[in-house]
Amino acid sequence: MRENDVKVLKTLRDAGGTAPVEEVAKKTGLADAAVARASLTLSQQGLVKEQTTRTTEIFCTDEGYDYLANGLPERRVAAVVHNAGGKLSVSKAVQEAGLPLDFVSIVTGWIARKGWGRIEKTSSGAILLVSKNPSRDDDEELLERIGQVSIPMEELPSTLKQAADRLLKRNILASKEQVQRKLQITLQGLDAIPTQAPINEVSGLTSEMILSGDWERVRLRAYNVSSPVPSLNPGKYHPYLRFLRMVKRKLVALGFREAVGPLVEPTFINDDCLYMPQDHPAREIHDLYYLKHPSKASLEPWRDIVERVALTHENGWKTGSTGWGYKYSREEASKLVLRSHGTALSVRSMISKDLQIPGKYFAIARCFRPELLDRTHLTEFNQAEGIVLDPTLSLRNLLGVLEMFAREVAGADKVRFKPDYFPFTEPSVELQAYKEGYGWMEFGGSGIFRPEVTEPLGIKVPVIAWGLGIDRLYMMNQQIQDIRQLFTTDLEWIRQQKVG
Amino acid sequence: MESLDEQNDSVSIEVKDSNHPDIWSVEGIARGLRTHLGIGKPKAPMLSGKSGLRVTVDRRLGPIRPFIATSIVRNVRPNENALKSWISLQEKMDLTYGRKRKRASIGFYQADLVKPPLRYTVGNPDDTAFVPLGSTEKMTLREIVEKHPKGIEYGGTISSFKDWPLLADGDGKILSLPPIINSNDLGKIGSDTKNILVEVTGTNIETVGNTLKIVVAALAERGGKIYSCTQTYTDKSAKAVATPDLKSSFKDLSVSYANRLLGSTFKPAEMIRAFMRAGHPARQVSKDVLRVESLCYRIDIMHQVDLVEDLAIALNINKLDPEWPRIWTLGGLAPETDRHETLAEVMIGLGYQELLTYVLTSPDVFVDKMGIAGENYPELLNPKMSTHTAMRSWLLPSVLNLLKDNTHVDYPQRVFEIGPCVIVKENGEGHTETRYKIAGVTIHTGAGFTEIRSCLDTLLGSIGIRFEVVPTTHPSFLEGRTGEVMSGQKRLGVVGELHPRAIRAWGLSLPVAAFELEIPPMGVE
pLDDT at B256: 96
Which residues in chain B are closer than 8 Å to A400, comparing Cβ atoms? 322-325
Query: Which band of pLDDT confidence, cut at 50, 70 and 90, is reported for residue B429?
Result: low
Which residues in chain A are closer than 8 Å to B333, comparing Cβ atoms? 248, 252, 258
State which fold the A241-496 domain adopts: BirA Bifunctional Protein; domain 2 (3.30.930)
CA A419, A282, B158: angle at the middle one, nearest 5? 130
Give me the residue from A255, A285, A490 closest to B382, CB to CB.
A285
With a cut of 70, say whether residue A478 has pLDDT above it.
Answer: yes
pLDDT at A105: 85
B139 CB neighbour count, 10 Å cutoff: 20
Which residue out of A50, A263, A286, A499 would a mutagenesis test of the B interface target, given it has the greatest number of B Cβ atoms within 10 Å? A263
Q: How far apart are the first and last CA of chain A?
A: 43
Cα nearest neighbour of A325 on chain B? B206
Tell if the CB–CB gap between B327 and A336 is shorter than 8 Å: no
pLDDT at B67: 95
A193 CB neighbour count, 10 Å cutoff: 17
Query: Which band of pLDDT confidence, cut at 50, 70 and 90, is reported for residue A51?
Result: confident
Q: In what order do the strands lie in the sheet with B379-380?
A: A291-293, B379-380, B390-391, B360-361
For chains A and B, count residue pairs whose Cβ atoms are closer than 8 Å.
Answer: 276
Which residues in chain B are closer than 8 Å to A403, comparing Cβ atoms? 322, 324
Task: Tell which phi-psi region holds residue B508, choosing left (phi > 0), alpha (psi between -120 and 50) or beta.
Answer: beta
Q: How far apart are the first and last CA of chain B?
A: 61
pLDDT at B525: 41
DSSP sequence for A105-122? HHHHHHHHHHTS-EEEEE
Average of per-residue pLDDT values in chain A: 90
pLDDT at B1: 60
List, in order, residues 6 or more apart from B427 with CB less than 8 Å away. Answer: none
For A145, the 3-state DSSP assignment is helix
| CATH code of domain B249-319 | 3.30.56.10
Q: How far is B286 from chain A (nearest CA, A)?
A: 20
Q: How far apart are CA B330 and CA A255, in angstroms?
A: 5
Is the distance from CB of B315 to CB of B321 less than 8 angstroms?
no
Tell if the CB–CB gap between B303 and A360 is shorter than 8 Å: no
Q: How far apart are CA A311 and CA A324, in angstroms?
A: 10
Whether chain A has a CB inside 8 Å of the CB on B156: the answer is: no
Query: Which band of pLDDT confidence, cut at 50, 70 and 90, is reported for residue B428?
Result: low
Is the distance from CB of A337 to CB of A270 less than 8 angstroms?
yes
pLDDT at B427: 63
Task: Tell which phi-psi region holds residue A328, choosing left (phi > 0), alpha (psi between -120 and 50) or beta.
Answer: beta
B404 CB neighbour count, 10 Å cutoff: 13
- Please report, rounded to a whole number, the percentage of residues in chain A having pLDDT higher than 90: 45
Query: A108-122, A267-281, B150-164, B328-342: lowest mean pLDDT where?
Result: A108-122
Q: Is B335-518 in CATH node 3.30.930.10?
A: yes
**pLDDT tens digits for range B23-53:** 899 999 999 999 988 898 888 999 999 999 9
Cα nearest neighbour of B261 on chain A? A394
The residue ranking higher by pLDDT, B38 or B228, is B228
Q: Where are the domains of chain B?
A: 45-243, 249-319, 335-518
Give me the residue from A336, A371, A426 closest to B384, CB to CB.
A371
pLDDT, mean of residues A279-298:
89
pLDDT, mean of residues A382-411:
93
For A471, the 3-state DSSP assignment is helix
Query: A208-222, A442-456, B134-148, B256-270: lowest mean pLDDT where?
Result: A208-222
Q: How far apart are CA B520 and CA B89, in angstroms?
A: 57
What's the per-residue H, E or C state across A180-215?
A: EEEEEECHHHHHHCCCCCCCCEECCCCHHHHHHCHH
- Please report, rounded to a whole number, the percentage of residues in chain B having pLDDT higher than 90: 80
pLDDT, mean of residues A202-206:
84
Q: How far apart are CA B168 and CA B153, in angstroms?
A: 23
Q: How far apart are CA B294 and CA B286, in angstroms?
A: 19
Q: How far apart are CA A173 and CA A75, in angstroms?
A: 17
| ipTM, interface predicted TM-score of the complex | 0.89
Cα nearest neighbour of B404 on chain A? A489
What's the per-residue H, E or C state across B211-227?
A: HHHHHHHHHHCCCCEEE
Helices (H), B377-429: 396-403
Q: How far is B402 from chain A (nearest CA, A)?
A: 5
Nearest 5°: phi and psi at A111? -60, -40
- Please report, rounded to a whole number, the percentage of residues in chain B having pLDDT higher than 70: 98
Gyration radius (Cα) of chain A, Å: 41
Give me the residue from A238, A258, A358 closest to B329, CB to CB.
A358
Is the distance from CB of B299 to CB of B210 less than 8 angstroms?
yes
Q: How far apart are CA A399 and CA A428, in angstroms?
A: 10
Q: How far apart are CA A243 and CA A215, in angstroms?
A: 49
Tell if the CB–CB gap between A289 and B381 is shorter than 8 Å: yes
Q: How far apart are CA B446 and CA B423, in angstroms?
A: 34
Q: How far is B15 from chain A (nearest CA, A)?
A: 9
pTM as predicted: 0.76
Tell if the CB–CB gap between B391 and A379 is shorter than 8 Å: no
Q: Name the CATH architecture for the domain at A62-168.
A: Orthogonal Bundle (1.10)
Query: Which band of pLDDT confidence, cut at 50, 70 and 90, is reported for residue A492?
Result: very high
Q: How far apart are CA A491 and CA B423, in angstroms?
A: 28
Query: Which band of pLDDT confidence, cut at 50, 70 and 90, is reported for residue B385?
Result: very high
Q: Where are the domains of chain A?
A: 62-168, 241-496
Nearest 5°: phi and psi at B271? -65, -40
Give me the residue from B331, B379, B413 closest to A253, CB to CB.
B331
Is the distance from CB of A43 to CB of A32 less than 8 angstroms?
no
Class of the domain covering B45-243: alpha beta
**pLDDT tens digits for range A305-327:** 999 999 999 999 999 999 998 89
pLDDT at A430: 93
Q: How far apart are CA A406 and CA A389, in angstroms?
A: 20
pLDDT, mean of residues A221-229:
85
CA atoms within 13 A on the CB side of A287: 10
Give me the residue from A419, A423, A494 closest to B353, CB to CB.
A494
pLDDT at A104: 86
For B3, the 3-state DSSP assignment is strand
Checking B189-193 for CB contacts under 8 A at 24+ apart, the result is: B189/B78, B189/B83, B189/B108, B189/B109, B189/B110, B190/B83, B191/B77, B191/B78, B191/B79, B191/B80, B191/B83, B193/B76, B193/B77, B193/B78, B193/B110
Nearest 5°: phi and psi at B368? -60, -55
With a cut of 80, say whether residue B3 has pLDDT above it.
Answer: no
Residue A475: closest CA among A231, A239, A218: A239
Query: A59-73, A263-277, A390-404: lowest mean pLDDT where?
Result: A59-73
Q: How far apart are CA A90 and CA B413, in angstroms?
A: 70
pLDDT at B439: 98
pLDDT at B17: 67
With a cut of 90, say whether residue A271 has pLDDT above it.
Answer: yes
Which residues in chain B are closer than 8 Å to A298, comparing Cβ atoms? 428-429, 431
pLDDT at B524: 43
**pLDDT tens digits for range B431-481:** 899 999 999 999 999 999 999 999 999 999 999 999 999 999 999 999 999
Residue A76: closest CA among A124, A118, A110, A121: A110
Tell if the CB–CB gap between B357 and A487 is shorter than 8 Å: yes
Which residues in chain B are closer than 8 Å to A396, comparing Cβ atoms? 262-264, 320-323
Give bridge partners of residue A468 from the DSSP assignment.
A384, A444
User: Residue A417: what residue type?
Assistant: F
pLDDT, mean of residues A37-65:
89
Tell if the CB–CB gap between B332 and A252 is shorter than 8 Å: yes
